[in-house]
């Protein structure tokens, strides 16, 4: 099975399927319908808000459970998950508004991820900025069948990508100027064969932006306010990227840069929530990631298990 999961045919088929779904299905809308139904019918203990860190596993993992599934299985708590690639505080906030009148979970678990809400390469992206999905969610009153009419979308055309690639982006390391220049330098990027210079570019592209002044900070505050209205305990934790690899590639300023971006989103989120702080999670070592060369926050089995152990302890403490 491991050999099949590594085969080019499998990865190509998975890529094609994801590409079709990304361009034609309003993923946050579909997930809202599913999770809204679960809240009404199954009365879960935990509602888990997440991003792509809840999707990926390594072909080398003995335990192929995703992060949310591992948490549910190890904790024994019924868990509903509202997650997807690049899901942000804006998307989560609209969903939280929709479930205000539904049966509430006993606790919320939340992945604090920097990039989706506050970094321009994500929130301005023609697909992963989720502009039409946010519009669909914001126009609804509840996550019911009425949302089904907004489930599909027209794929973004060449003009949308042209506008995106023309955008200037400020970065601490400045390996390129516009989105298009970065994407051109990273075209054909393969983590398995990428040299050090290419890895520097992708780390800068993914993590070099500044959260200060980002319009996404207001979404973090509003999301906190909407969770506060639910009046349930919240367990939030930092979702790190490979800090050791980033430091090795971009220098000692990488970690302080990341820490400041975390501080900014936490400041806004917990202000909206009415207080609190994230549960402490040790930044995972490089060995906890699926592949540090892809610069993402995606954990292997060892990394996921470390997070799950922390979350179980925190949730149990709040629900004791």
Distance separating alpha carbons of residues 113 and 117, to the nearest angstrom? 8
pLDDT surpasses 90 at 272: yes
To 5 degrees, how large is the angle CA 18–CA 124–CA 192? 50
Looking at the DSSP assignment, which residues form a beta bridge with residue 279?
A: 237
Give the confidence band of 24 by pLDDT, cuts at 50, 70, 90.
confident
Give the confidence band of 4 by pLDDT, cuts at 50, 70, 90.
low
What length is written for the chain?
320
Which positions ≥6 away from 61 have C-beta within 8 Å?
A: 300, 301
To 5 degrees, how large is the angle CA 294–CA 79–CA 234? 80
Q: What is the reported pLDDT for 200? A: 98
Ranges of H-type helices in the chain: 2-6, 8-24, 27-41, 67-75, 89-98, 115-118, 120-123, 131-138, 158-166, 179-186, 196-207, 216-230, 243-250, 254-273, 301-319
Give the confidence band of 146 by pLDDT, cuts at 50, 70, 90.
confident
pLDDT surpasses 80 at 2: no
Q: What is the reported pLDDT for 20? A: 59
From residue 96, how far is each of 39, 245, 248, 278, 316 by CA, in Å?
Answer: 12, 35, 39, 19, 23
From residue 138, how far is each of 61, 150, 217, 218 by CA, in Å?
Answer: 39, 11, 18, 16
Q: What is the reported pLDDT for 32? A: 97
- With a pLDDT cut of 70, the percent of the chain lying above it is 93
Q: Where are the domains of the chain?
A: 2-142+155-319
Q: What is the reported pLDDT for 9? A: 62
- pLDDT tens digits, 302-311: 999 999 999 9
Phi, psi of 240 (to 5 degrees): -85, 155
pLDDT surpasses 60 at 23: yes
Mean pLDDT (the chain, rounded) = 94
Q: What is the reported pLDDT for 79? A: 98
Q: What is the reported pLDDT for 12? A: 57
Phi, psi of 37 (to 5 degrees): -65, -40
Q: What is the reported pLDDT for 19? A: 64
Q: What is the reported pLDDT for 10? A: 54
What six digits make up the tokens of 200?
């520097």
What's the pTM value of the predicted model, to 2 decimals?
0.93
Question: Lowest mean pLDDT: which of 9-13, 269-273, 288-292, 312-316?
Answer: 9-13
């Amino acid at each position: 099975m491991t050999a099949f999961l590594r085969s080019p045919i499998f990865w190509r088929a998975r890529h094609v399927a994801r590409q079709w779904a990304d361009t034609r299905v309003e993923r946050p809308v579909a997930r809202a319908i599913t999770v809204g139904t679960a809240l009404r019918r199954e009365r879960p203990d935990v509602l888990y808000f997440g991003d792509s860190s809840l999707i990926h596993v390594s072909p080398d993992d003995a335990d192929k459970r995703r992060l949310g599934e591992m948490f549910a299985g190890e904790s024994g708590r019924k868990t509903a998950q509202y997650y997807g690639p690049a899901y942000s505080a804006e998307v989560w906030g609209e969903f939280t508004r929709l479930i205000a009148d539904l049966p509430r979970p006993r606790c919320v678990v939340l992945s604090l991820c920097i990039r989706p809400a506050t970094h321009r390469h994500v929130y301005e992206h023609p697909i992963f900025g989720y502009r039409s999905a946010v519009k669909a969610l914001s126009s609804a009153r509840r996550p019911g069948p009425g949302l089904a009419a907004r489930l599909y979308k027209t794929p973004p055309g060449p003009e949308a990508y042209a506008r995106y690639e023309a955008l200037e982006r400020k970065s601490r390391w400045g390996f390129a100027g516009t989105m298009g220049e970065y994407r051109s330098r990273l075209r054909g990027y393969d983590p398995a064969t990428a040299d050090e210079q290419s890895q520097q570019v992708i780390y800068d592209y993914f993590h070099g932006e500044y959260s200060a002044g980002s319009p996404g900070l207001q979404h973090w505050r509003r999301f906190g306010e909407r969770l506060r209205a639910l009046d349930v305990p919240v367990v939030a934790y930092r979702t790190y990227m490979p800090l050791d690899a980033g430091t090795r590639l971009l220098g000692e300023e990488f970690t302080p840069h990341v820490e400041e971006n975390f501080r900014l989103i936490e400041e806004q989120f917990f202000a909206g929530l009415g207080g609190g702080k994230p549960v402490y999670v040790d930044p995972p070592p490089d060995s906890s990631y699926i592949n540090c060369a892809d610069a993402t926050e995606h954990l292997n089995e060892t990394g996921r298990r470390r997070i799950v152990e922390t979350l179980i302890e925190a949730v149990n403490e709040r629900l004791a």
